[in-house]
Amino acid sequence: MTVILLCVAAAILLVLGFEMFLVMGVPTLLAWLLLFPSIPPVALAQKLLGGVNVSTLLAIPFFIFAADIMARGTIAKRLTDLVKTNIGHVRGGIGHTTVVSCMGFGAICGSAPATVAALGRLLHPELLKARYSETFSLALIASSAECALLIPPSITLIIYGWLTGTSIADLFAGGFVVGVALGIAFMIYVQIVTWRTGAGLFPRATRRERLLALRDGLVALGMPFIILGGIYGGIFTATEAAAVAVAYALLIEMVVYRSIGLKVLMEIAEGSAITVAVIFILLATGSMLSFLITLAQVPAFFTQLFAAWNVDWIVFLLIVNVVLLVAGMFIDPNSILLVLVPTFYPVATSLGIDPVHFGLVVCLNICIGMITPPFGLDLFVASSTLRRPVELIIRGIWPFIVVNILVLLLITYVPQISTGLLAIVR
């Protein structure tokens, strides 16, 4: 009964619009006072601070800083020009350019909101010129940015790896395959819309334009090759790769392209610091919440419950998908990870589900939540970036949600898609 009341308290705080660290933190403190009063306050303080005192989490501020540098610089435009000059002339080419550019930029920054902000202004006018509808164009940009949460380096996968102890390199390998699969599914839908509406044809670029775009774009594409090559080549860890990403972004934008000066860099650093602070406050609160969830034996309760009901992995993952899809409509991605992964992960392992497979199922659900009304984060980022009503984006987002769910079912019930590349990279 006490646990139910605490869940109700959290729901009330969420509905009233309180910040997520309070939605998680207040019930956590109440749970401590009501269920575990014998635990000294210093123990909670140690969990609060010690939970984020983990070297793996250093990758998050570095990747966020690198993403913000590239979003303010010229890498995003050069990457888009590289794709557009090569495939923009084919039927549906500019739509495919949007998907591939978001995948490429996601492989550089690892952040869906940063991808929407960086590429939205570049791609939206091009899609309209190609005679795609406003609603389709806005929805395509918001949806394609999801690939950034899957294709490494992915901040979401880093947090999942920290919570569960799963290898970040293994998660990155699985995320690459799933991200590409999602991108291909979007491109199939783009082609269907193109055939139906007759939109999507651009003039063929000249040989000189393609060569210039290749010269500029290869420098931008160097980052994912350096990061992933370094990780899987054993040269550096995922955390060290994040620091390399910052150094590379600074080198390209400040020295090679000279698109960012010292004053702008300080502004970028300030914005990145605020973003990182918000995330780490959530992570610290979540680590304390996970500690109490474990003490309350919530995972053991669900494990015994599902065993009593004779639930197999197929039904369990269906339940997980439904819970995560509903949660994604109202809660931000990091909070979903912090609240639900410590609860469901022990059950998943007890049913023999591969940690990497489960992580990609969770991450793809979070991707869908980023574009699902009423509170999908990418919807509002796209709205503010492109100065369009969020209702207009929602109007065109539903077909993309259907595509997402179809891919989710495929990833959920064909585990080899998530884990097939691991045999090669291990």
Per-residue pLDDT tens digits of the chain, which is 426 residues long: 666 777 778 778 877 877 777 888 888 888 888 888 888 888 888 888 877 887 778 888 888 888 888 878 887 788 888 888 887 777 878 888 889 888 888 777 777 777 887 788 888 888 888 889 999 999 999 999 888 889 888 888 999 999 899 988 899 989 999 999 999 999 999 999 999 887 766 677 777 888 888 887 777 777 777 887 887 777 888 788 888 889 988 988 888 888 888 899 999 999 889 888 888 888 888 888 878 887 878 888 788 888 788 889 999 999 999 999 888 887 878 888 888 898 899 999 999 999 999 999 999 999 898 888 877 878 888 888 888 888 898 999 999 999 999 999 999 999 999 988 876 765
pTM over 0.95: no
How many CB atoms within 10 Å of residue 404? 25
> What's the rounded Cα separation, in Å, for the pair 73 and 78?
10
Token reading at 176? 């690459």
Closest among 161, 164, 143 to 152, alpha carbons compared: 161
- Reference 115, options 125, 124, 126, 104; nearest CA is 104
Q: Determine the residue type at 202.
A: F
Burial string for 4-16 (b: 16+ CB within 10 Å, else e) reads: eebeeebeebbee
In sign, the C-alpha dihedral spanning 401, 403, 406, 410 is negative
Give the number of other CB atoms < 10 A from CB of residue 423: 8
Nearest to 21 by CA among 327, 254, 326, 339: 339
* Structure confidence at residue 2 (pLDDT): 65
Upstream peptide bond of 399 is cis (omega within 30 degrees of 0): no
- Angle formed at CA 382 by CA 379 and CA 383, multiple of 5 degrees: 85
- Structural contact between residues 256 and 69, judged by C-beta atoms closer than 8 angstroms: no
Predicted confidence at residue 1, as pLDDT, reads 60
pLDDT at 318: 94
Q: Are 30 and 12 in contact (CB under 8 A)?
A: no
Measured CA to CA, the distance from residue 369 to residue 327 in angstroms comes to 8
